[in-house]
Amino acid sequence: MKYAIEFFDEDVQQAVLTWPAGINASFTRIALRMVEHGANLGLPYTKAMGGGLFEIRAKGQEGIGRAFFCTLVGQRIIILHGFIKKTDKTPKHELDIAKQRMKEIKHG
């Protein structure tokens, strides 16, 4: 059964798709796996962040990218927010953006 990956909006899509080449290639490989096998790939590809929020863990020579996503009924995976990671810990404001967007998607 195939899954569909969608972006929250064009800005999110543009931000993620313009990541440096190596990080983008990693994201694309993981996303293609998700289309085939579903969102729950587990580490090192995806990680549950709690409350129905997950992250894609893309890695390239240029650094690390994170894309937060949630799933919706009907095999839909929604990419809510993406950023290039500059510290070991995920910044709270990046997580807050994803959580707010997930609320908008799930509750209107």
pLDDT digits (tens, 9 = 90+) for 1-45: 799 999 999 999 999 999 999 999 999 999 999 999 999 899 999
The structure's pTM equals 0.93
For 4-107, give the CATH class.
Answer: alpha beta
Cα–Cα dist 36/28, whole Å: 13
Interacting residues of 62 by C-beta distance below 8 A, sequence separation 6+? 20, 21, 22, 23
